Structure 1
Amino acid sequence: MPNFVRLIIGFALLGATVALMFFSFWGTGVLVLLLSILVFVTFFFNEKMLIAQFYLRKENMEGAGKWLKMIKNYESELLKAQHGYFHLLVGLIESRKAPLQSEKYFKKALTLGMTMDHNIALAKLSLAGIAMAKRNKREATMYLQEAKKADKNKLLAEQIKMMKDQMVQMDKQQVQTRGFRPR
């Protein structure tokens, strides 16, 4: 449902609340008021995105993907501030299926912008992992440094450290394979 329809419904329910309370139907008025508050909350926080995030926390990628696919046109259904988060969630789901294909979603999420620093750090950490899979050490190092800078609350510090250790292992493997000369 487009956002302007939610606003119309919310204001209609708010008007109904005022009318009900004016005519002394307090119980029904409070109930309709709570319903209008719920409609206004879904204007700012899309219920499909919230349910998809719930499924992602439970590591149920199929359920999260199903709810994200219900969003047909994210530009009309979501606020502009949620566009980046939509692409981040799609990228996280795609990274389980085809990691190298999810790069475009993470980059789009970063270009559209996100307000929370740990989500920016998560997108950059995922891009660093993709760059490592492509054997692009310079790009991976750049994304890791940006992820470390964006992770101000140290929520991803362990994952960043693990990724750096993997890069060191990748360097050792390259040195070993270059040193080997077949006869």
Structure 2
Amino acid sequence: MAGNPERRAALVDAGIEVLAREGARGLTFRAVDTGAGVPVGTASNYFTGRDDLLRQIDARLHTRLAPDPEVLTALMRSPKDRALVTALMRDLMRRVTRDRTGYLALLEMRLEATRRPELRDSFTRSVRGELEYGMEFHRQAGLPGGDETVAVLYLAMLGLILEHLTLPGVLNGVLPGVDVPDGLVERLVETIVPPR
């Protein structure tokens, strides 16, 4: 296995681009090499196989899509109420919009996991870990609601993200006078998160 960490990162990021653009069927070492602008055969020196590449894409996506620590620190100075939860969810939607490719790749990973049990196990652990981290963060921060609140908000936001990224026109005008996505984020939080 080749050991150049910058080249490996470039190949993984190219894999994310390919996955988002072409889906899992288009994710080949040749496509990754082309996307990274490296000689054909380079990716095969960095990954033991397609599953290894997918696992590294998964790890990279969770890092790439994580909240900015400075933004999170600034947000957490606010009172621990429903308004803060709304601000945190709006930050999530900003990240979705800013790195649309990363989130589309994450959705493709979910679809691929339905077809590949070995990927399903590893991806389930990864996504479940993120959900459990969100629950722990919510508890430690003293935000309103408990684990059930976080789980329901997670599911609602996942649905909003899916529509926003894939068929944004579906939500436009559904609730007159409610902006998409910020206004919908506010409505989701008001509906799911208790006032205190």
- TM-score over 0.5 for the pair: no
- Return the structure number with greater helix share: 1
**TM superposition score normalised by structure 2:** 0.29
* Greater Cα radius of gyration, structure 1 or 2: 1
